[in-house]
A and B are shown apart, each in its own frame.
Chain A
Amino acid sequence: AQKVTQAQTEISVVEKEDVTLDCVYETRDTTYYLFWYKQPPSGELVFLIRRNSFDEQNEISGRYSWNFQKSTSSFNFTITASQVVDSAVYFCALNSGAQKLVFGQGTRLTINP
């Protein structure tokens, strides 16, 4: 069975702090894909990144970085020098060939000025 766990329900930090959102997944498949989505107050989920199970290289995109570790089944997301506009709910998701993406419960991130 596929499962995604985001243990942090809510995180609140002060602007310019670094913050890491945790994601732990479970799957028996050797080929799978992991995603992160951002849901701002407007409601739509915005695609941030997709990684496949064969590529464990960490990725950096501006202030965003992702740390994929198969040994611990984790795909954590770090925002460096956070900004108020980063406030949103962030979802981690997993797909391993099923008909659907499996989403975690989401982490509500609040960046205070």
Chain B
Amino acid sequence: ETGVTQTPRHLVMGMTNKKSLKCEQHLGHNAMYWYKQSAKKPLELMFVYSLEERVENNSVPSRFSPECPNSSHLFLHLHTLQPEDSALYLCASSQDLPSRGVYGYTFGSGTRLTVV
């Protein structure tokens, strides 16, 4: 148990489906992140939330839609994805944003997404 829980662990979806990835942390952290990890590519930061407010969006296609209803939960809503979106999606949290102090990230185990 890492402190950050992601569900589901594995997801296979068609290109016309709509699904959501869930991330939950009860560490009292204020910042949460979505990362995409594709094969043989660096970790790509997708979204950053601080106290439920989105503070960074790295040019992510609109078919990915994040939601942060409270500081403990983060969702990534998926619709009309492409096969190249298949990847490991990692959620992380930190006590606060890096710009407000240096904090290590706590990562979840990720959701392995396959788009068919």
Contacts of A103 in B (CB 8 A): 42-43
The dominant DSSP class at the A interface is: loop
B110 touches A99 (CB 8 A): no
Q: Tell me the chain A residues, 61-100 only, with Cβ under 8 Å from chain B.
A: 91, 95, 97-100
Separation of A69 and B57 alpha carbons in the complex (Å): 33
Separation of A95 and B33 alpha carbons in the complex (Å): 15
A43 touches B88 (CB 8 A): yes
Contacts of B42 in A (CB 8 A): 103-106
A43 touches B99 (CB 8 A): no
Separation of A99 and B54 alpha carbons in the complex (Å): 11
B21, CB-defined interface residue at 8 Å: no
Contacts of B43 in A (CB 8 A): 91, 103, 106
A52, CB-defined interface residue at 8 Å: yes
> When A45-B90, A105-B42, A106-B42 are in contact, do A99 and B109 touch as well, CB less than 8 Å?
no
Q: Tell me the chain A residues, 4-42 only, with Cβ under 8 Å from chain B.
A: 9, 33, 35, 37, 42
Listed in ascending order, the chain B residues whose CB lies under 8 Å from chain A are 2, 4, 33, 40-43, 45, 48, 55-56, 88, 90, 92, 97-99, 102, 104-110, 112
Q: Which residue of B lies closest to A106 (CB)?
A: B42
A43 touches B112 (CB 8 A): yes
Contacts of B45 in A (CB 8 A): 100
11 contacts between A and B (CB under 8 A): A43-B112, A46-B107, A47-B104, A95-B98, A97-B98, A98-B99, A99-B56, A103-B42, A104-B42, A105-B41, A106-B43
Separation of A33 and B112 alpha carbons in the complex (Å): 30
Contacts of A91 in B (CB 8 A): 43
Which 5 A-B pairs have CB atoms at the shortest separation, nearest pair first?
A45-B107, A43-B110, A44-B109, A43-B109, A103-B43
Separation of A47 and B45 alpha carbons in the complex (Å): 17
Q: Which residue of A lies closest to B94 (CB)?
A: A101
Separation of A50 and B55 alpha carbons in the complex (Å): 24
